[in-house]
């Protein structure tokens, strides 16, 4: 991964600092030198550059998803699992929390929650070539240079898998909105199946509602995640 991204100026963690068990923490662990950049979720929304961040993120995903599966296989299945569940589990999880979320929300967000009760059509499973995906590409895992607005690092590959590349775009409509997400997709010059946009629209809607509900339970930034829901349900 480091080789694939390095010439774009994008760093990834290099686990080079092993730790041994001790009385206070009886487990092996490892760490990596701190990477340069600011987590994108710490940037004010008006500082998200409409061109640079989408283009550099799209270029990063091209490189990541182009890593040959044969190289990934050398890591072993205990390191990289194949994600083949498709969209159904996302809808099932969202439907489980629908009643509770409905009781907490009003107005436009409540109308978005009502989508779950209208038997949304589940898209077909991904039919293209398996890709190495980050699988948790939320803004807190994207490091950005606060001056140039370029993506300079990607963090937390603990959920990396072989699977549907749409899963690496799923947070973007909520976080960036559809206009910027479409810029990422235009910069993503990698072959995929014809259903990517349909799956992305479905997954981003279901995901935004799940994340909003989690935020309610954690008593965290509910207003941000209400905006995320409205972004995800916007035009695609």
Report whether pLDDT(146) > 70: yes
pTM over 0.85: yes
In Å, what is the CA distance from 125 to each residue of 122, 131, 161, 167?
Answer: 9, 14, 16, 12
Whether 30 is in a domain gets the answer: no
List all residues 6 or more positions away from 188 whose beta carbon is below 8 Å from its beta carbon. Answer: 58, 61, 62
Cα separation of the two ends of the chain: 30
What range defines the domain where residue 143 resides? Answer: 2-18+37-232
CATH number for the domain spanning 159: value is 3.90.1200.10
Whether 32 is in a domain gets the answer: no
Count of domains for the chain: 1
Whether 27 is in a domain gets the answer: no
| Residue 7 pLDDT | 86
Q: What is the DSSP letter of 207?
A: H
Whether 6 is in a domain gets the answer: yes
Whether 78 is in a domain gets the answer: yes
Whether 140 is in a domain gets the answer: yes
Give yes or no for a contact between 101 and 216, defined as CB atoms under 8 angstroms apart. yes
| Residue 44 pLDDT | 79
Whether 25 is in a domain gets the answer: no
Q: What is the DSSP letter of 12?
A: -
pLDDT band at 236 (very low <50, low <70, confident <90, very high): low
- Residues 216 and 26: their CA atoms lie apart, in Å, by 34
pLDDT band at 71 (very low <50, low <70, confident <90, very high): confident
pLDDT (mean) for 66-85? 72
Whether 79 is in a domain gets the answer: yes
| Residue 75 pLDDT | 58
């Amino acid at each position: 991964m480091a080789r694939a991204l390095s010439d774009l100026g994008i760093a990834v963690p290099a686990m080079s600092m092993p730790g041994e068990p001790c009385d206070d923490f009886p487990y092996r662990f490892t760490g990596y030198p701190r990477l340069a950049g600011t987590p994108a979720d710490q940037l004010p929304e008006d500082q998200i550059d409409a061109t640079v961040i989408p283009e550099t993120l799209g270029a990063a995903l091209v490189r990541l998803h182009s890593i040959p599966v044969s190289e990934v296989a050398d890591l072993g299945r205990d390191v990289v699992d194949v994600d083949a569940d498709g969209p159904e589990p996302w809808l099932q999880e969202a439907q489980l929390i629908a009643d509770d979320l409905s009781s907490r929300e009003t107005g436009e967000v409540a109308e978005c929650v009502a989508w779950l009760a209208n038997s949304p059509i589940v898209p077909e499973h991904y039919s293209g070539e398996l890709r190495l995906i980050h699988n948790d590409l939320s803004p807190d895992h994207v490091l950005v240079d606060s001056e140039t607005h370029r993506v300079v690092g990607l963090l937390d590959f603990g959920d990396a898998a072989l699977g549907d590349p749409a899963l690496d775009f799923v947070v973007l409509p909520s976080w960036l909105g559809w206009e910027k997400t479409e810029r990422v997709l235009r910069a993503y010059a990698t072959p995929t199946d014809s259903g990517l946009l349909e799956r992305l629209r479905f997954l981003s809607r279901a995901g935004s509602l799940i994340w909003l509900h989690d935020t309610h339970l954690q008593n965290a930034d509910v207003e941000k995640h209400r905006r995320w829901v409205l972004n995800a349900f916007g035009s695609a």
